């Protein structure tokens, strides 16, 4: 099956028409971001955020670089404040801000700088989109005939890798966790089965039962921390513990635009952790009830430390955990 990730690049003028508001009236960044996600279900949060910022660049009329930097900073703050679980979104925003700052410094002529930013912002975005295909190619040698693989929840990068392996006629089976409370594992199972990959959904509490029958584990990531640990769907941490205990390799599969400048030591160090409340009422409501946005009210993300991760498969190579901080230094300071 052809990758859902590839689509015709959006022309900058077409992006500008996605909203009826003029630059002087202000662009609703959160609405623009959500429009991109709705139109392309295969798009990741950081890529959608970059798309929205490229729209802003195309619509902004300013006379100085400092004005643009200020407008961009306010737009990024609006996106981060308006979206829950915005860790991967933050990574895309921060990377794009750095891209703009580096390019502004290379131009004395402001008008030429702006044209360069709009044009190359689109190219930057396209490279981000193509990263998933690079990941699949780099991760392909890690899947072999007769493997039994365990995956958690739904990850576009992991799915892309498994579909490429199937197209290369590698024979393998997949355990997929149900991934409560969002049940995103069911989505993974549907995609894999539609492409002829033998799949079995298991409840999250059955990971310890099947881990001895598993050859390797692949998980995605909402964000990759400076330490090389990963921020991902709730349950990833306990899978990491079980994999290490059973001496099974765990590979984190993630795009480099999800590298974030965070150094958490536990899930409670992540931005805006949900409170853990206790009650004498019906406990079933605690895990499955929805908040005002329709999302479960409990924690959706956890943090898996780098000692539980065998390697990170990314579009810039297969990295050890220590290499992540080096790559972040290159992105931000080279």
Q: Are residues 173 and 303 in the same domain?
A: yes
Contact in structure between 85 and 300 (CB atoms under 8 Å) = yes
| Overall number of domains in the chain | 2
Model pLDDT for residues 261-306, shown as the tens digit of each residue: 889 999 889 887 877 778 777 655 555 554 544 556 678 899 999 9
CB atoms within 10 A of CB 255: 27
Q: What is the domain range of residue 250?
A: 143-333
Q: Are residues 213 and 234 in the same domain?
A: yes
Q: Are residues 177 and 276 in the same domain?
A: yes
Q: Are residues 126 and 234 in the same domain?
A: no
| Cα separation, 329 vs 257, whole angstroms | 13
In a domain, residue 197? The reply is yes
Q: Are residues 197 and 260 in the same domain?
A: yes
Q: What is the CATH classification number for the domain harbouring 321? A: 3.40.50.10470
In a domain, residue 276? The reply is yes
Q: Are residues 148 and 173 in the same domain?
A: yes
Least confident of 10-24, 174-188, 289-303: 10-24
Last residue of a domain, one of 100, 130, 160: 130
Q: Are residues 170 and 116 in the same domain?
A: no
Q: Are residues 153 and 74 in the same domain?
A: no
In a domain, residue 3? The reply is no
| Cα separation, 57 vs 117, whole angstroms | 8
Q: Are residues 280 and 327 in the same domain?
A: yes
- At residue 88, the pLDDT reads 84
Cβ burial, residue 233 (10 Å; 0-12/13-18/19+): buried
Q: Are residues 88 and 193 in the same domain?
A: no
* Mean pLDDT over the full length of the chain: 83
In a domain, residue 242? The reply is yes
Q: What is the CATH classification number for the domain harbouring 59? A: 1.20.120
In a domain, residue 2? The reply is no
- At residue 195, the pLDDT reads 97
Instruction: Provide the 8-state DSSP code for 257.
Output: G
DSSP β-bridge partners for residue 233 = 301
Closest CA to 184 of 137, 235, 229, 139: 235
- At residue 121, the pLDDT reads 65
Model pLDDT for residues 118-148, shown as the tens digit of each residue: 777 677 667 777 889 999 999 999 999 999 9
Residue 334 has pLDDT above 70, yes or no: no
């Amino acid at each position: 099956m052809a990758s859902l990730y590839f689509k015709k690049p959006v022309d900058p003028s077409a992006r500008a028409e996605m909203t009826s508001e003029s630059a002087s009236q202000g662009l609703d960044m959160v609405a623009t971001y959500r429009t991109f996600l709705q139109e392309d279900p295969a798009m990741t949060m950081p890529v959608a955020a970059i798309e929205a910022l490229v729209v802003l660049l195309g619509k902004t009329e300013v006379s100085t670089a400092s004005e643009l930097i200020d407008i961009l900073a306010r737009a990024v703050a609006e996106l981060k404040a308006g979206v829950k679980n915005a860790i991967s979104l933050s990574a895309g925003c921060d990377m794009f801000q750095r891209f703009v700052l580096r390019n502004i410094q290379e131009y004395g002529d402001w008008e030429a700088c702006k044209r360069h930013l709009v044009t190359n912002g689109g190219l930057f975005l396209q490279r981000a989109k193509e990263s998933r295909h690079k990941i699949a190619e780099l991760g392909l040698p890690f899947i072999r005939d007769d493997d039994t693989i365990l995956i958690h929840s739904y990850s576009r990068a992991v799915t892309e890798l498994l579909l490429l392996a199937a197209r290369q006629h590698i024979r393998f089976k997949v355990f997929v966790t149900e991934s409560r409370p969002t049940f995103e594992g069911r989505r993974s199972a549907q995609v894999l089965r539609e492409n002829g990959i033998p799949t079995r959904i298991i409840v999250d509490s059955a990971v310890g039962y099947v881990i001895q029958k598993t050859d390797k584990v692949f998980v995605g990531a909402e964000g990759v921390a400076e330490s090389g640990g990963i921020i991902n769907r709730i349950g990833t941490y306990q899978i990491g513990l079980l994999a290490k205990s059973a001496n099974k390799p765990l590979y984190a599969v993630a795009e480099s635009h999800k590298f974030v400048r965070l150094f958490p030591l536990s899930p409670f160090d992540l931005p805006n952790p949900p409170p853990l409340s206790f009650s004498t009422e019906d406990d079933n409501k605690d895990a499955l009830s929805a908040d005002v946005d329709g999302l479960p009210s409990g924690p959706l993300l956890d943090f898996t430390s780098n000692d539980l991760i065998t390697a990170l498969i990314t579009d810039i190579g297969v990295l050890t955990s220590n290499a992540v901080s080096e790559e972040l230094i290159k992105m931000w300071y080279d």
